[in-house]
Amino acid sequence: MSDEQAETGDGAPAGADHAPERDIAFDMARRSLWVFPAWVVVSGLIWGMGGALSSALGYVLVIGNLAAAATLMAWGARTSPVALMGATLGGFIVRLVVLAGVVLGASQLSFFEPVPIAITIVASHLGLLAWEIRYVSLRLAAPGLDLQRPGKEQK
């Protein structure tokens, strides 16, 4: 019996606390580190300091949204299938409302620029998800990051 097949004292498999959702969200945040600073600089050049600050706020919102999604899904997966479905759908709706509320609140600030924050939020969500799909295992037997296949980036 391998270490992964061994059970803990409470009957749960060893490593059951491993959350591939968190690994994937962290990997997306890590991969974004070289794109977002460049986008903040470009936004600053196009829209001034307000554009740079708005893009930075958008980046914080995107990474926070991904982290919140991963945390909710990890909790739901540990709890039950019903909790996972509720956390996924309900969490999506709540996170959209929070994003909209933060953006609407920030729109009252003097530095706020709507175009760079909108580009940051929409393009980065779609871009990071599309980019990350190359690194995710789509097998139920080994969920999470799949960096062992040929041609994949190694950690």
Residue-wise pLDDT tens digits, 133-149:
777 766 555 556 665 55
Q: Residue 5: its pLDDT value, please?
A: 41
pLDDT of residue 133: 76
Reported as a single tens digit per residue, the pLDDT across 14-63 is: 445 567 788 888 888 888 888 899 999 999 999 999 999 999 999 999 99
Does any domain span residue 142? no
Three-state SS at 145: strand
pLDDT at 97: 97
Using the predicted structure, report yes or no on whether residue 13 has a pLDDT greater than 70.
Answer: no
Q: How many other C-beta atoms can be found within 10 angstroms of the C-beta atom of residue 24?
A: 23
Domain-located, residue 84:
yes
What percentage of the chain reaches a pLDDT higher than 90?
52
Prediction pTM value: 0.74
Do the Cβ atoms of 55 and 121 come closer than 8 Å?
no
Chain segment 87-109, per-residue pLDDT in tens = 999 999 999 999 999 999 999 99
Residue 93 covered by a domain: yes
Any domain includes 150: no
Q: How many domains does the chain have?
A: 1
Does the pLDDT of residue 82 top 90, yes or no?
yes
Report d(CA 152, CA 92) in Å as an integer: 30
Specify if 143 maps to a domain: no
Residue 45: give the domain boundaries.
Answer: 20-136
Q: What is the mean pLDDT of the chain?
A: 81
Q: What's the confidence (pLDDT) of residue 151?
A: 53
Whether residue 5 is contained in a domain is answered as no
Does residue 15 sit within a domain?
no
The predicted pLDDT at position 2 comes to 42
Which residues make Cβ contacts (< 8 Å) with residue 134, sequence separation at least 6? Answer: 152
